[in-house]
Structure 1
Amino acid sequence: MRDDPEASGRPCLGGFFGGFNRRFDALTARYTVALRRGGRMLVLYALLLAVLGIGYMRVPRRGCGSRTC
């Protein structure tokens, strides 16, 4: 697939620069997807930490009276 100068807003380049531009565009698209997925993973991680924190607070502690165990 050749670069369409009117679609990308830049002239059609061949050789090294054309390949560089195609790889850069592909990398940019993958990075954008990763950012979206990263946001969802961050929310999932925060929920997991909250559930673990609540579970940890509900674990009964050993009763030793006034002395520390």
Structure 2
Amino acid sequence: MEVMVKKFQSKFKIVRKDMNQWDELQSRLISQFRSASHIVDRLQLLLTIRIKAKQQIMGQFPKLLNRNYS
């Protein structure tokens, strides 16, 4: 009977260790996903700003051309 209990305890320790490792890895994955999500959000914002700036510059070209050749 003691042998069975020791086997069970040994297996239980292994399973507990594996579950703790799984929890740690899952926490890391969630943290990294959150960081990646924030980076993507910032990149989308920067892209929007870049597009708007480009549109403003392109909109000013006709005004600049009219000033130089008038």
Find the counterpart in structure 1 of residue 10 from structure 2.
14
Find the counterpart in structure 2 of residue 25 from structure 1.
20
- Percent of matched pairs sharing the same residue: 8
**Please, what is the CA RMSD of the aligned residues?**
2.5
Deviation at 1:40, TM superposition (A): 1.7
**Cα distance between partner residues in 2 of 1:27 and 1:34:** 10
Find the counterpart in structure 1 of residue 36 from structure 2.
41
- Give the structure with the higher percent helix: 2
**Secondary structure in structure 2 of the residue aligned to 1:40:** helix
Count of residue pairs the alignment pairs up: 50
- Answer with 1 or 2: which has the greater Rg: 2
Q: Structure 1 segments of 4 or more deviating over 4 A?
A: none
